[in-house]
Structure 1
Amino acid sequence: MSGGVSNFGRIAFDDLRWEGRRYAVTNLQTAGAGLGSETPKRARFTSIDILPKQQVEEGAEPLLYAATSPEATAGAYYGPGGRFGLVGPTITARITRRALNTEANRRLWTEADLTAAVA
């Protein structure tokens, strides 16, 4: 499973648990003590309606399609077919060059096995 941001992000193998980096500030962090009050504080960027967004059901559709549809193809990549590939109905999406990096894929699975103590 992936998201549109994966096209721009980088895997920091030396800090997979984000212990040395800070997450982006979210509305939950900025609302803080005001959360649950009648007028919660909001981060400035949440009031700007230019970012693509969709409901949870639409967001889960590509994953559910890949996992359950008899029409899904093994090894294919499914994602949203709308604006910037971030929203919209499910389509067969292009697998990015970064996702095909066999060395990074191998290393990520190795780290996941070690973290989950599976191997």
Structure 2
Amino acid sequence: MAAWTAKDIPDQTDRTFVVTGANSGLGAETARALAGAGARVVLACRDVDKGKEVAADLGDNAQVRRLDLADLTSVREFAADLADSHETVDVLINNAGVMAVPLRRTADGFEMQIGTNHLGHFALTALLLDRISDRVVTVSSTMHRIGKIDLDDLNWERRRYDRWLAYGQSKLANLLFAYELQRRLTAHGSTVRSLAAHPGYSSTNLQYRSESLQGKVVEFVTPIIGQPARTGALPTLYAATAPGVEAAGFYGPGGPFELRGTPKQVRSNGRSHDETVARELWELSERLCGTEMLRP
């Protein structure tokens, strides 16, 4: 793949994108690039004020709507509000996330990382899927490689909590979800495509919220080796807009160790392709979220 940049995004006029977590970092850069290509962009943000600051620079095609992925009531309200507007969504970008935070619970009692990064996006996708016409892009991480899905204790109620393993579990869940979503879309004869992306090592505010000793180390090295957020957003933008992308494709930076660089198709680990775990995680997610999607 030749070096692909935001300048290569095809014209997105008359297309609508929902970007979660678009008030800062990768989400904000994703929204800026899409709006620059002519798209209508819904900035789905927990912090509406910060979202409005981003949207102010994007023109009339940007709108901000409140979405707190750590609260399923908020997810349902966001989806209902979008339905009331009768707006079709061409592409949903499941971007928002938290990383390596101390043990906390969402409004629904889920461990914060699996609750925000996976379950919130699972519920959102389920509630919006009948309005989506083109693609669902779910943002994962190279840290999926340290993850393991514990279906008996997904929310860390019995295990000793480890913030990094919890993050890895949530990012592995993102990939299992993206691949299983494509299998089910195909089985249902849908033309909607599910893809995944990861930003490599990107300098965003995500690295400054882990509240740990390891987090302090990450804070120190990130400005040195991390790529700018606008570059980190490119794999997501490629997955969301490039013609000819593969269904269930996974896209990340093309540089050494996938840490930085322009997008290319990359591989995820074997655990992410375990169809039995993916199916069981899907069914558990439906029960936890109170939603159903693409049942067999």
Normalising by structure 1, we get a TM-score of 0.69
For 1:78 and 1:17, the matched residues in 2 are separated by 28
Q: Which has the higher strand share?
A: 2
Residue by residue over 1:5-59, the C-alpha shift from the partner in whole angstroms, topping out at 9 and shown as x without a partner, is 11222122233234451425x754259xxxxxxxxxx82453346x852222222
Among 156, 163, 166, the alignment partner of 1:23 is: 163
Change (3 A) 1:88 1:30: same
For 2:245 and 2:270, the matched residues in 1 are separated by 21
Among 230, 247, 267, the alignment partner of 1:57 is: 230
State whether structure 2 residue 148 is matched by structure 1 residue 10.
yes
Residue by residue over 1:67-117, the C-alpha shift from the partner in whole angstroms, topping out at 9 and shown as x without a partner, is 221131212221122231232211011243222111111122222222221
List aligned pairs for 1:36-115, cutoff 5 A: 43-48=216-221, 52-115=225-288
**Partner residue in 2 for 1:39:** none
For 2:219 and 2:285, the matched residues in 1 are separated by 33
**Partner residue in 1 for 2:29:** none
**Partner residue in 1 for 2:171:** none
For 1:44 and 1:16, the matched residues in 2 are separated by 28
SS at match of 1:70: coil
| Percent identity (aligned) | 30
**Matching residue's letter, 1:57:** R
**Matching residue's letter, 1:78:** Y
For 1:4 and 1:54, the matched residues in 2 are separated by 15
8 Å Cα contact 1:76-1:92 kept in structure 2: yes
Q: Aligned-residue CA RMSD in angstroms?
A: 2.9
For 1:87 and 1:109, the matched residues in 2 are separated by 31
Q: Work out the number of aligned pairs and report it.
A: 108
**Partner residue in 2 for 1:34:** none
Q: Which runs of 5+ in 1 are unaligned?
A: 32-41
